[in-house]
A and B are shown apart, each in its own frame.
Chain A
């Protein structure tokens, strides 16, 4: 591995983009116009937009089902739907949000679009494989939607057996086939990113000149490659169990149902970091740009990404403290889960230190980034509560858990996704959105999110189990509060869908670098030319070469 030399001192490069880099040829959006040119494109930027359109559609499905769940929980006696309908609603919400929105969200869209631009490459290493990954994704989506159209699934997104294999009378197999297939698209994307980052960096783009966004996507890709095959195997076995009673998991045929939980969480815990790490990458780009200051502790933040991706493989058992695993295993998984907090804390403290003495612009992406930091901190620390064995014994499988992972996945991933969407929207589309609307919706989402999910921490500690359609009347007040919050959140989600789309046709034309940000993606025109760089890109000598820099001493400068 080559190591870059980082020098002290203020930026030597002209912050304004040299004219020679700005493209004169047709940009990637206007290079071709046919439908065929979109559906058979091998351009990473167009594939990113195919993914963006698809995951947005799934986000809408996931959000509507979430809204219906919150509607049902306004009353405690389950009068709105039947229990079966409610169970199907939260299952669709979980399956769609996890596998068809959160996991592909940032990597398949921003990662696809930006990694080649950030490292100075013309495309990903395997453009056709990249297109194939989208078709694989849509095939998986097709099977999952088939199961929904046929009547739905009621197992919960966790598919725990023997409920899923021997007792559920719903369309479990098509849903499982869909989720199994979609895993392959993750593997293809991960493979593509790893090879691209290793082999296609521009001259001078050493590892320690890479933006943190690339580092976190590298770490994410490792998880894609190493963890996804495990869920594939587990789900194939589950299908075989349901169809042929092979007896791996169902005790009625000599299997062990807890084994499925081990396999499931061996993937699904690292999958949390598939969702979180790319978001951390987005925040690490936004914060320095809007503070006009070099990212504090660059190397620590980069190492922390790899650290998170490694430690996350050793904590899956913390989902199973009360599920019948050995006490010794529980203690080991507990302490390892505390260790995950270390690299997470590194990120948060470094972002905060980056803001210190910066020159801050509180534009929409920065508002999302600041919201992200607050919510991620709360989500992360409540994760430590859950990792504490005695507390877990009480709040396991209650609304405390629901609140915790929504702070990580909505407060974390979704806010980072929206922040990144606003940050790079001018780059994607070549147009500016209306800033005031962006700020309003960022604030609405932050408020709506907290009103929705904070009461769920209290509900959980009071003992309300999750996945309850009918619940004791004493929990109604907090549930109404939560549902009220979700309506604010919904408005906050709808706004960007309107003004961002509006901007595509009617927005002001965007300059190459509207935020005065660093990074190679800002040196090309907005939108970028079809082949990215017209002249060979020159890697900057220092990553995050912003006007304001703290002089850091120590091994960073060795």
Chain B
């Protein structure tokens, strides 16, 4: 499905309250810009005509209170523009604080495609289907270079970094098909790293999910398969031959490290331990034997694996295994 192509369009469609307010912000700012610039343009043109050399014109100058003039044309435009700083900052902060009930979509950028994963496990490449009337939070990470996920229809974009998660949220309020892009230059096919955003009613979205074939168990369920395919259990399952800490119920617990520090096993800790285990992060009473999985495990698999470790199921299934 392609977004409606128009030969010439002068204003982009908006599909969230933030987008509409951003439009008002820029329109109001443009009114101020015109108020500040049109007099200058008119004055320059008028003076150029009126005071051309040879034109009879009054060129006498009275005394001018220049300091007063200078101060006023420094401060008045500045204070007027500050209104827009405040308005813009306020809107920015609103768009940074996702409501707690936001539906989380995981996004992965890589040269040169987007991969989106719905909470129920379905994933799509480059295209994204979302319900309206529901806050959506996108958590994203890059597998290689820096990308930037951009939805013009929400007037919103955020960098997708290779070393940490970034987030953005919005609440779509209008159905339709729109464009999404990578807006940070990322190499050869940067301009092909775009896709279609389809905003649907809740019912249509539910039907779409059904159609797309929900994978059993979602992210965490998929993570179980990853756990097995990388044979994590060879060391970490209870009763394994190599002695390694049990992962059952690990998430959120405090862990004592070999150097005496106490850290919380949060998501960053889990990711870091998988990608780059080393002595600094070694749990107390264990030897450093785990291999590094950096550049071994693809980022989307890592996400699923971490989701599995976070889920309650991890404990149950692990303890059920022989």
Q: Report whether chain A binds chain B.
A: yes
Chain A residues engaging chain B, CB cutoff 8 angstroms: 78, 83-84, 87, 154, 156, 158, 160, 162-163, 166-168, 251-252, 256-258, 291-292, 296-297, 300, 321-324, 327, 330-331, 334-335, 338-339, 341-342, 345-346, 348-350, 352-353, 355-362, 370, 373-374, 377-378, 381, 384-385, 387-394, 396-398, 458, 461-463, 465-474, 477-478, 548-556
Residues of chain A contacted by B43 (CB below 8 angstroms): 352, 355-356
Given contact pairs A461-B12, A472-B179, A397 touches B29 in the complex (Cβ within 8 A): no
Of B76-84, B213-221, B300-308, the one contacting chain A is B76-84
**A394, B78: Cβ atoms closer than 8 Å:** no
23 contacts across the A-B interface (CB closer than 8 A): A163-B186, A251-B163, A297-B66, A335-B82, A346-B73, A346-B74, A348-B40, A349-B73, A356-B43, A373-B40, A374-B41, A381-B37, A387-B85, A388-B85, A388-B88, A390-B87, A393-B95, A394-B19, A472-B3, A474-B3, A474-B5, A478-B8, A550-B61
B85's partner among A162, A251, A334 (CB-CB below 8 A) is: A334
Q: Compute how far the CA of A378 lies from the CA of B41 in the bound complex, rounded to whole angstroms.
A: 11
B63 to chain A, nearest CB (A): 5
Of B115-123, B127-135, B147-155, B234-242, the one contacting chain A is B147-155
Q: Compute how far the CA of A252 lies from the CA of B294 in the bound complex, rounded to whole angstroms.
A: 8
Q: Which residue of A lies closest to B91 (CB)?
A: A390
**B51, A355: Cβ atoms closer than 8 Å:** yes
**B183, A398: Cβ atoms closer than 8 Å:** yes
Main secondary structure of the interface of B (DSSP, over half): mixed
**A377, B40: Cβ atoms closer than 8 Å:** yes
**A397, B148: Cβ atoms closer than 8 Å:** yes
B164's partner among A324, A352, A468, A555 (CB-CB below 8 A) is: A324
Q: Which residue of A lies closest to B92 (CB)?
A: A389
Q: Compute how far the CA of A391 lies from the CA of B26 in the bound complex, rounded to whole angstroms.
A: 7
**A83, B188: Cβ atoms closer than 8 Å:** yes
**B111, A167: Cβ atoms closer than 8 Å:** yes
Residues of chain B contacted by A388 (CB below 8 angstroms): 25, 29, 84-85, 87-88
Centre residue among A158, A296, A335, A389 by max chain B CB count within 10 A: A389
- State whether the Cβ of B210 lies closer than 8 Å to any Cβ in chain A: no
Q: Which residue of A lies closest to B184 (CB)?
A: A397
**A345, B74: Cβ atoms closer than 8 Å:** yes
**A358, B179: Cβ atoms closer than 8 Å:** no
**A251, B162: Cβ atoms closer than 8 Å:** yes
Given contact pairs A324-B159, A341-B77, A389-B89, A355 touches B68 in the complex (Cβ within 8 A): no
Q: Which residue of B lies closest to A366 (CB)?
A: B48
Given contact pairs A258-B161, A327-B96, A391 touches B145 in the complex (Cβ within 8 A): no
| Tally of B interface residues using CB under 8 Å | 94
Q: Which residue of B lies closest to A380 (CB)?
A: B37
B32 to chain A, nearest CB (A): 9
Residues B87-112 near A (CB distance < 8 A): 87-93, 95-96, 111
Q: Compute how far the CA of A252 lies from the CA of B69 in the bound complex, rounded to whole angstroms.
A: 57
A345 to chain B, nearest CB (A): 5
A556's partner among B47, B66, B153, B159 (CB-CB below 8 A) is: B66
Given contact pairs A360-B53, A462-B152, A554 touches B12 in the complex (Cβ within 8 A): no
Residues of chain A contacted by B179 (CB below 8 angstroms): 463, 472
Q: Compute how far the CA of A292 lies from the CA of B59 in the bound complex, rounded to whole angstroms.
A: 11
Q: Which residue of B lies closest to A331 (CB)?
A: B89
Residues of chain A contacted by B183 (CB below 8 angstroms): 396-398, 465-466
Given contact pairs A345-B78, A374-B41, A357 touches B57 in the complex (Cβ within 8 A): yes
Q: Compute how far the CA of A556 lies from the CA of B184 in the bound complex, rounded to whole angstroms.
A: 49
A357's partner among B33, B51, B164 (CB-CB below 8 A) is: B51
Residues of chain A contacted by B66 (CB below 8 angstroms): 296-297, 300, 550, 552-554, 556
Q: Compute how far the CA of A257 lies from the CA of B147 in the bound complex, rounded to whole angstroms.
A: 12
Q: Compute how far the CA of A296 lies from the CA of B52 in the bound complex, rounded to whole angstroms.
A: 18
Q: Which residue of B lies closest to A397 (CB)?
A: B183
Q: Compute how far the CA of A377 lies from the CA of B37 in the bound complex, rounded to whole angstroms.
A: 7
Q: Which residue of B lies closest to A257 (CB)?
A: B146
**B166, A324: Cβ atoms closer than 8 Å:** yes
Residues of chain A contacted by B10 (CB below 8 angstroms): 458, 462
Of B189-197, B243-251, B255-263, the one contacting chain A is B189-197
Residues of chain A contacted by B182 (CB below 8 angstroms): 465
**A370, B48: Cβ atoms closer than 8 Å:** yes
